[in-house]
Amino acid sequence: MEIVGSTVRIRQLQILREVMRAGSERLAAQALRITQPAVSQNVRQLEEAIGFALFRRENNRLSPTDKAWELLRTIDAAFAGLDRIGPSIEFLRNNDTRVIGIAAPGAFSFGSLPLVVKKIREKSRSYTVQVKSGSYQQIADHVLTGRVDLGISRLPLDERTFDWMPVGTATNVCLFPPNHRFASQHVVTPEDLIGEAIIDIDPQFASHQMSVNALRYMGTQPEIVVEYDVNSHDVGYVMAGIGVSITNEIIAREYAGFDVEFRLFEPGAVYHYVIFWQKDRKLSDGLRFAVEELAAVVADASCSQSCDV
């Protein structure tokens, strides 16, 4: 099978991958159960097809070039899904099960997702749930490519690509350790952050704009002690008393099992959370049940936070 737009065959990439993993054509041939000449021929044909050398050949030894290692990383990423096909077929052959894939920010695995998975398993023990986490963009990619069935994210999303159900609205809060001076306040403002050690999220997130950029606008250099790039990574540092962080109400609710507190942070942004799936996809009974349970749990979180703060 050739790759579209080139004369490269998938079998050639598979053989190259095994040669680089095994360290020699001889060992690769043994692993693939083909002859060593066949391995050598496929490697040479691949080099001819792509137009550059993959190995330096010295004293009957192959030394991969830098380009070969770069190509291997691409091949590994492409083959990752293919490697799971065999085990998946075997699993489906021997098990009467249904799989629901959900992608969400990592924080949701602290509270909401375990509650939903429990409900799904109570409905039928034949269901299993695959959970993927990441940034909001990664979550959208997981749903778009079909790696998962459902995603939890916040707007905006591309309405040409996804359908969704609104589940909650949140604004910013300041997260801090117990017995902090903010515990006596109803609202935390940028002025209150002056002199505070800050656990700061990546600039791509609105929470960064609310805290760090607000301080800089006031002419104050923020004291950033930890920078992180994915929601939920802040709670451990806050709980340890290293600093405070700015997140939103729905994410903060997921930290109920941790020894931290929070108060509204103003001025703040408004976040509209949704459960979403591929555009025009017809949801099975199991997926509809999962959507309903996710909506109920996340909406309850949004409401309880607004009432508690």
CATH number of the structural domain spanning residue 234? 3.40.190.10
- 286 and 224 in a common domain: no
pLDDT digits (tens, 9 = 90+) for 248-270: 999 999 999 999 999 999 888 89
- pTM of the full structure: 0.64
Residues written for the chain: 309
Counted domains in the chain: 3
- 180 and 264 in a common domain: yes
- 144 and 118 in a common domain: yes
Domain residues for 22?
10-88
- 220 and 152 in a common domain: no
Q: What span, in angstroms and rounded, lies between the C-alpha atoms of 111 and 268?
A: 24
- At 64, list the tokens: 């991969």
- 182 and 156 in a common domain: no
Q: What span, in angstroms and rounded, lies between the C-alpha atoms of 121 and 134?
A: 24
β-strand pairing of 223-228 with 197-201: parallel
- The set of residues, in sequence order, having a beta carbon less than 8 Å from that of 240 and lying 6+ positions away, is 177
Q: What span, in angstroms and rounded, lies between the C-alpha atoms of 13 and 30?
A: 17
Of 34, 53, 88, the position where a domain reaches its end is 88
Report the greatest alpha carbon distance in the chain: 76
- 183 and 256 in a common domain: yes
Residue 205: the pLDDT is 57
Sign of the C-alpha dihedral computed for residues 235, 236, 241 and 244 taken in this order = negative
In order along its 309 residues, the chain shows pLDDT tens digits of 556 556 788 889 999 999 988 888 899 999 999 999 999 999 999 999 888 989 888 777 788 888 889 888 888 888 877 776 776 666 656 654 588 999 999 999 999 999 999 999 998 888 889 999 988 889 999 999 889 999 999 999 999 999 999 999 999 999 999 999 999 999 999 899 888 999 988 766 555 555 666 777 777 787 889 988 877 889 999 999 999 999 999 999 999 999 999 999 988 889 999 999 999 998 888 899 999 999 998 877 655 544 444
- 149 and 280 in a common domain: yes
H-helix or E-strand spanning residue 273: strand 270-278
- At 235, list the tokens: 């709670």
- At 210, list the tokens: 């609310």
CATH number of the structural domain spanning residue 65? 1.10.10.10
Residue 295: the pLDDT is 93
Residue 57: the pLDDT is 81
- 197 and 153 in a common domain: no
- 221 and 196 in a common domain: yes
- Indicate whether 4 belongs to any domain: no
